[in-house]
Amino acid sequence: MLTVAALAPGALQQRLAGDGLRLRTGRFSVRLQADMPSVAAGIGQLYRDYPLLQDDDFADFHLHLVRPRTARRWLRPQVRLHCDGYEMFQPMPLQHAFPMFEWGLNWCVSSRAHRYLIVHAAVLERNGRAVILPAPPGSGKSTLTAALSGKGGWRLLSDELTLLELDTGLLVPNPRPISLKNASIDIIRAYVPDAVLSPPVRDTSKGTVAHMRAPGDAVLRAADCAQPAWVVFPHYSAGAATTLEPLARAATFMELAGNSFNYSVLGAAGFHALGRLIEQAAGFRFRYSALDEALDTFARLHES
């Protein structure tokens, strides 16, 4: 199976600038067109191990990053994102092009893939059992995810989009780069020395953003699903002691529903899938500040 790495840099850039690069991320196939060096660099670095698809293959999502042909082109260059012909978002400064692709692809999946209950959460697996980490932005979820998958021995299934397959109740991998913000970037650079990080992009709406390549065999094992075993709501708080408190099942259910993109679209099927997950997976609130202690807690959780 050919991967993106098989393309010489020139060839990669050519495809992106032309008819598009087609690749597979977990269950989804993506066609990306983006005639801009930062995107080519980002893809080359972070998507190196992803399966390459043929030019005439079906693509689930067509993403097209364009530079508008206006005076802005030279003065304050912008980038616009078209998802299957629709422009859903405001233009962004050109240097935000790669993050825009990441966020745009997340948006495409989370708004359409209704085979799954899609939770705004990270999900990681160890020995077939998975922990789901729902968290609003800024709660340290991504830092924790980077640490758990980069150093803690957990396999990354996803950093942003937890896909719970309605029919089977399994968690389906959707491995993609982990997005890190502001202070987390340096923290992870230090904590996970062999992490591969994109150059930081400054002044986004979330501050400075960098993406970490999905570590270990996350991409290689994208077809290996996992059973849900734990739901942990993380809260980072500077100086906080590490605590893990069990959460009542009904409360876990409601919080997960509230953290889902498409729970209300799925109707009864979503209700049943979430109910089944709650039967299988224990819920916890997790407070921490030290990564070593956090990784330790998860290791013990796994052993229990």
CB of 31 to other proteins, least distance (A): 8
CB of 33 to other proteins, least distance (A): 13
Q: Does 205 bind other proteins (CB under 8 A)?
A: yes
- Cβ distance to other proteins smaller for residue 257 or 299: 257
Q: Does 85 bind other proteins (CB under 8 A)?
A: yes
List beta partners, residue 138.
none
Residues 11-70 that bind other proteins (CB under 8 A): 29, 56-60, 62
Task: Say how far apart CA 147 and CA 126 lie, in whole Å.
Answer: 14
Upper half-sphere CA count for residue 80 (Cβ side, 13 Å): 14
Residue from 1, 74, 86, 223 in contact with other proteins (CB under 8 A): 86
Task: Say how far apart CA 49 and CA 269 lie, in whole Å.
Answer: 34
Task: Say how far apart CA 220 and CA 51 lie, in whole Å.
Answer: 9
- Cβ distance to other proteins smaller for residue 1 or 268: 268
- Cβ distance to other proteins smaller for residue 112 or 129: 112
Give yes or no for a contact between 133 and 121, defined as CB atoms under 8 angstroms apart: yes
Query: Which amino acid is residue 147, in one-letter code?
Result: A
Task: Say how far apart CA 91 and CA 67 lie, in whole Å.
Answer: 9
How is the beta sheet containing 178-181 ordered, strand by strand? 178-181, 207-212, 201-204
Q: Does 95 bind other proteins (CB under 8 A)?
A: no
Contact residues: other proteins, CB under 8 A: 29, 56-60, 62, 82, 84-90, 92, 100, 103-104, 106-107, 110-115, 120, 136-137, 160, 205-206, 248-251, 253-254, 257-269, 271-272, 275, 278-279
